[in-house]
Amino acid sequence: MPERKVKEKIRIVDERTVEVSLPNVDGYERIAMECSASFAKIGGLAKERIEDLKTAVSEACLNAVEHGNKGRPEARVVISMHLGDKDFRVFVKDEGNGIPHIPQAIDIRRKVERLEPPNGLGLFLIQQLVDRVDFNKTTNGGHVVNMVLKMENQPAPCPRDQDQTPTVIESTR
């Protein structure tokens, strides 16, 4: 297999913000996953929430590579992490046009039993694992998934115990 020259970029914007620019390559979502988990641990995100964060970041990055950037090798996926006083935010930006239709509810049983294609499963996971998620198109072309996890020292509420579906907002920035 020929060796690929791939360039990653990590930038510390300030003591509360770190940015990682990754090539549009399968497998590099693991870098985003581990960087966000390490930064969240430093910031004090509850241990129980770290795995939720890693899965949500991984799914957002996989969607960015496959659906947003359509596998184009010259495209980038940029992950920005911000440690707030009360929350930890992760922004995953791709160079695509956004999500044409955000599924509001899926029948998880039908997907697991392979009675339906797995489309939308990653978005479903993200919505269940973070406290808030927004899907935004950017004015300069591209799409951003904004995920927020509260810094409280307690696990996320179980989705079946919630009366509301997660907040999903589309806007232009």
Q: In what order do the strands lie in the sheet with 87-94?
A: 9-14, 17-23, 76-83, 87-94, 143-150, 132-137
Q: For 112-169, how does the pLDDT look when each residue is reduced to its tens digit (9 = 90+)?
A: 788 777 677 788 889 999 999 999 888 888 999 999 999 975 444 444 344 444 434 3
Q: For 40-89, how does the pLDDT look when each residue is reduced to its tens digit (9 = 90+)?
A: 999 999 999 999 999 999 999 999 999 999 999 999 999 999 999 999 99
Burial of 117: CB neighbours in 10 Å, binned 0-12, 13-18, 19+ = exposed
pLDDT score at 124: 86
* CA 27 from centre of chain: 15
pLDDT score at 4: 55
Give which of 132, 127, 117 is closest to 159, Cα–Cα.
127
pLDDT score at 103: 65
Ordered by where they begin, the domains of the chain are 9-161 (3.30.565.10)
Mean pLDDT lowest among 6-10, 20-24, 50-54? 6-10
Q: For 53-67, how does the pLDDT look when each residue is reduced to its tens digit (9 = 90+)?
A: 999 999 999 999 999
Q: 3-class DSSP state for residue 79?
A: strand
The verdict on pTM exceeding 0.85 is: no
Residue 122 CA: distances (Å) to CA of 90, 96, 118, 125, 126: 16, 17, 8, 5, 6
Average pLDDT for 7-11: 77
Is the pLDDT confidence value at 3 over 60?
A: no
131: left (phi over 0), alpha (psi -120 to 50) or beta: alpha
* Mean pLDDT across the chain: 83
pLDDT score at 161: 43
pLDDT band for position 1 (cuts 50, 70, 90): very low
Give the Cα separation of 101 and 106 in Å (integer): 13
Q: What are φ and ψ of residue 149, in 5° steps?
A: -120, 130
